[in-house]
Amino acid sequence: HDVEKVVKTAMRLNKLVLPEEDLLIPIKKINDYDDDEIVILETGRSGEPLKSLQKMAMGRHRFVNLHEGDLVFITTTPSHAMETKVARTRDMI
């Protein structure tokens, strides 16, 4: 929920202006939209986002499953430990 707080604060300070108010939705409402209408931002500490992404890739995430043709961007601070986790996650996808 950290990214949600950052986005809401940026919007309140007029640093982020979105074209529609309902552009950001709670993950619980994700099934109300077609797959091609969704962008998911996954954040966290020390590999937490990678664990969620692995669950999505394996069909075990509570709300999201990845499908062939989905586009995934992974960004992280470089380190040897993260390099291994990212490679493992990439292989699952």
| Domain that includes residue 72, residue range | 2-92
CA nearest to 54, candidates 30, 84, 24, 31: 84
Model confidence, pTM:
0.68
pLDDT along the chain (93 residues), means of 10: 80 88 82 89 77 92 90 80 85 88
Counting the structural domains of the chain, the total is 1
Residue 84, pLDDT score: 85
CA nearest to 41, candidates 85, 1, 90, 87: 1
* 3-state secondary structure at position 28: helix
DSSP letters spanning 22-77: GGS--GGGGGGS-GGG-------STTHHHHHHHHHHTT--SS----TT--------
Contact by Cβ (8 Å): 63, 27: yes
Paired tokens of 72: 């995934």
